[in-house]
Amino acid sequence: MPPELWPSYDPTKSAVSGSRFFLEIQERGYRGSRQVVRKHLAALRAGNAEPVRADIPSPWKITGWIMRPRETLTDQQEERLLEVRLACPDITRACDLARTFSDLVRNRSGFLLNDWIRQAEQDAPKPMSGFAGFLRQDLDAVATGLTLEWSSGVVEGHVNRVKTLKRPMYGRASFELLRTRILTQP
């Protein structure tokens, strides 16, 4: 809970209820649950509360900063990503590997995939090394996909579109209606 949301009184010294405290900080913009506030107040009163953490970006934001090309990041986003990387060596290693893999995909450099997999399996965080292991299982297909300009992506897109059209009609419509919808939908 950021300190700027806290009311002006000290909840550790006053007999204010957790519910009242929750309502007051909720008016100031707090979006968490009442139970979290109660637990935090109990820990504060017992003297064993954890320090208030800084504004930590969500995993989705961090992932977005990592996967986006560096030149598209704002100065503030680059600075925040640097702070996160300095705070967590695992994120630093995952960031480096993810950016390298992203470059492999963007530049169609499938011939470098074996080296990337080897690096990821050696010293990457567990999710990243697991991903590298899955790539190794079908190495020829993945390397071909990262090298050649042809792919079955368009066909897969059409299959996905047909399944999306078919799913809501299942058991209620005829083949002729499905055929008409497929042919008339863009």
Tens place of pLDDT for every residue, the chain, 186 residues?
555 555 554 555 555 677 788 888 888 878 788 888 888 888 888 878 776 666 778 889 999 999 888 899 999 999 999 988 888 888 899 999 999 999 898 888 889 999 999 999 998 888 888 999 999 999 998 888 888 888 788 888 889 888 888 888 887 888 888 888 888 877
pLDDT computed for residue 78 by the predictor: 92
Same domain, 18 and 80: no
Same domain, 91 and 121: yes
Residue 51 placed within a domain = no
Q: At what angle do helices 89-106 and 75-87 cross, to 10 degrees?
A: 130
Same domain, 107 and 162: no
Same domain, 34 and 100: no
pLDDT computed for residue 12 by the predictor: 52
Same domain, 42 and 18: yes
Same domain, 107 and 76: yes
**Whole-angstrom Cα distance, residue 182 to residue 162?**
7
**Whole-angstrom Cα distance, residue 68 to residue 77?**
11
Residues 6 or more apart from 91 whose CB is under 8 A from it?
62, 84, 85
Residue 54 placed within a domain = no
Same domain, 102 and 31: no
Q: At what angle do helices 139-147 and 113-123 cross, to 10 degrees?
A: 130
**Whole-angstrom Cα distance, residue 143 to residue 137?**
11
pLDDT computed for residue 54 by the predictor: 61
Same domain, 161 and 180: yes
**Structural domain range at position 72:** 59-147
Same domain, 86 and 135: yes
pLDDT computed for residue 118 by the predictor: 94
**Whole-angstrom Cα distance, residue 15 to residue 21?**
10
pLDDT computed for residue 119 by the predictor: 92
| Number of independent structural domains in the chain | 3
Same domain, 99 and 63: yes
